[in-house]
């Protein structure tokens, strides 16, 4: 096994001395045989094989968990926690567990919350955190630390880290935030600071690669059911009623896809990974017309990133670009609603027709994490702590095939998790919804 497997290496701090894990002296834990994780404990990145193909290599990641030897003297730790970007269920649970875990497992006593995202490092006062303060945070949506987009000023941030003496930095945020974390890690290394940097990917869209799924995602799928049910009721209670739900997912359709598979009320699910077209044979209108004819109503779920290239742009929208230089997103739900109305008005001017459009975005992302995600956030935070205490840096924790592992931060920042439309799961969606395979239709 061993020689055929390549293991993803992790950066580690170098200037600190090894010492015994304080759990070792904790009369309470009695770490049993097998409790500590060693560097030879790995998680395979791939579990599905085609045995007829001999050429497949093994890749493995270091398993997450407590190490017998750590690199920090707990009383010298000064940890900073920051949350960046949009809201996602579970952020407060992650913060809470970082605080409780550092405090109770390792005896760390200096833990600071950076308010309002990256800019908080250099423009606001940090908040001292302790278990009593964060006691009920996991029952609240949003982030008590507050968050914001942008504000990434590398130099000012690393200056602030240095000046405040933070030697552990926990960064919770999306892909842009993770790319920022890589830069912070690089700059911290360049300055030869003994600061452990770890990223905790936060993306309700579930668009981060390598890990099984991101926290808050299951809660989002659960909450999306309410919107789909409401759209279904509206559609069913009308004559030729269409219920249209826009769900989160700028570049990936995971929420839309999972919400569709979890519900049974959806007739068609449109995602960014799959092209579609409205008019003509095999198009969406033809499909909906058939559904209305058969059932009298239809429910449509669309991920916010779907069909962007089809939405007509005004001149100013053609110029407007976001911080990353991409064209700004247009509202696919509003566009689709009006396209549907125009189509029907044109084709069936005398027949009743209703489109009810629901955009539940802020009602989904602002709720507290459900039980599944709360548990996930807890294990995630504890994994991160164990890794940082052991001296790893520039890494991310996360579940791989159900087991928590450590992954180089840079790798996570570069990988995207898209829906694989040639996967059986996608075929299943189509079989569940009987929805058209627009791409094949078009080619055909």
- Out of 3, 9, 53, 205, which one is annotated catalytic? 205
Burial of 106 (0-12, 13-18, 19+ CB in 10 A): buried
Q: Which of residues 78, 109, 140, 156 is near a second copy by CB under 8 A?
A: 140
H-assigned helices in 237-270 = 254-262
- 3-state SS class at 114: strand
Q: Which stretch binds a second copy (CB under 8 A): 11-19, 70-78, 192-200, 233-241?
A: 233-241
Q: Which stretch binds a second copy (CB under 8 A): 40-48, 160-168, 173-181, 313-321?
A: 40-48
Q: How far is the CB of 141 from a second copy (least distance, A)?
A: 4
- Which residues from 270-299 bind a second copy, rule CB under 8 A? 296
**Tokens standing for 274?**
């799959």
Burial of 29 (0-12, 13-18, 19+ CB in 10 A): middle
Residue whose CB is less far from a second copy, 147 or 168: 147
The answer on whether 362 is annotated among ligand-binding residues is yes
Residue whose CB is less far from a second copy, 159 or 437: 437
Q: How far apart are CA 102 and CA 387, in angstroms?
A: 12
| Residue 50 among the catalytic residues | no
How many other C-beta atoms are found inside a 10 Å radius of the C-beta of residue 321?
A: 10
Q: How far is the CB of 340 from a second copy (least distance, A)?
A: 15
- Residue 258 found at the interface with a second copy (CB under 8 A): yes
The answer on whether 165 is annotated among ligand-binding residues is no
In order, the DSSP letters of 163-206 are HHT--EEEEEE-HHHHHHHHHHHHHHHHTT---EEEEEE--TT-
- Which residues from 389-428 bind a second copy, rule CB under 8 A? 400-403, 422-425, 427-428
Q: Which of residues 259, 330, 336, 419 is near a second copy by CB under 8 A?
A: 259
Q: How far apart are CA 393 and CA 13, in angstroms?
A: 7
Q: How far apart are CA 329 and CA 402, in angstroms?
A: 34
Q: Which of residues 110, 207, 234, 273 is near a second copy by CB under 8 A?
A: 234
Residue whose CB is less far from a second copy, 328 or 375: 375
Q: Which residues are catalytic?
A: 205
Binding-site residues for substrate sit at 203-205, 248-250, 304, 362-365
């Amino acid at each position: 096994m061993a020689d055929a497997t390549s293991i993803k290496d992790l950066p580690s701090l170098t200037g600190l001395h090894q010492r015994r894990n304080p759990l070792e002296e904790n009369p309470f834990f009695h770490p049993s045989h097998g409790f500590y994780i060693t560097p030879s404990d790995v998680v395979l990145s791939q579990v599905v094989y085609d045995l007829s193909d001999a050429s497949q290599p093994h890749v493995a990641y270091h398993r997450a968990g407590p190490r017998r030897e750590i690199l920090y003297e707990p009383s010298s730790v000064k940890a900073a926690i920051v949350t960046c970007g949009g809201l996602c269920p579970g952020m407060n649970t992650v913060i809470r567990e970082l605080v409780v875990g550092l405090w109770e497992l390792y005896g760390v006593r200096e833990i600071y919350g950076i308010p309002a995202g990256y800019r908080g490092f250099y423009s606001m006062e940090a908040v001292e955190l302790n278990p009593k303060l964060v006691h009920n945070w996991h029952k609240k949506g949003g982030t008590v630390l507050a968050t914001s987009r942008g504000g990434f000023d590398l130099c000012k941030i690393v200056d602030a880290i240095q000046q405040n003496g933070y030697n552990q930095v926990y960064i919770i945020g999306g892909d842009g935030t993770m790319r920022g974390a890589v830069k912070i890690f690089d700059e911290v290394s360049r300055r030869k600071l003994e600061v452990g940097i770890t990223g905790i990917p936060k993306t309700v869209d579930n668009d981060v690669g390598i890990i099984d799924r991101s926290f808050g995602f299951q809660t989002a799928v659960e909450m999306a059911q309410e919107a789909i049910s409401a759209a279904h009721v509206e559609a069913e209670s009308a004559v030729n009623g269409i219920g249209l739900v826009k769900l989160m997912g700028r570049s990936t359709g995971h929420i839309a896809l999972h919400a569709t598979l979890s519900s049974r009320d959806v007739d068609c699910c449109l995602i960014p990974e799959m092209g579609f077209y409205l008019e003509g044979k095999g198009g969406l209108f033809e499909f909906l017309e058939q559904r209305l004819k058969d059932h009298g109503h239809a429910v449509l779920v669309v991920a916010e990133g779907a069909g962007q290239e089809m939405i007509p742009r005004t001149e100013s929208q053609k110029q407007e670009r976001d911080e990353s230089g991409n064209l700004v997103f247009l509202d696919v739900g509003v566009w689709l609603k009006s396209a549907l109305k125009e189509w029907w008005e044109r084709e069936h001017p005398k027949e009743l027709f209703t489109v009810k459009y629901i955009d539940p975005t802020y009602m989904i992302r602002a709720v507290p994490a459900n039980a599944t995600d709360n548990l996930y956030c807890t294990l995630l935070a504890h994994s991160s702590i164990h890794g940082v205490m052991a001296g790893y840096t520039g890494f991310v924790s996360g579940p791989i095939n159900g087991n928590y592992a450590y992954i180089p931060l840079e790798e996570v920042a570069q990988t995207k998790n898209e829906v694989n439309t040639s996967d059986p799961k996608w075929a299943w969606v189509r079989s569940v919804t009987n929805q058209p395979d627009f791409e094949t239709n078009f080619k055909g």
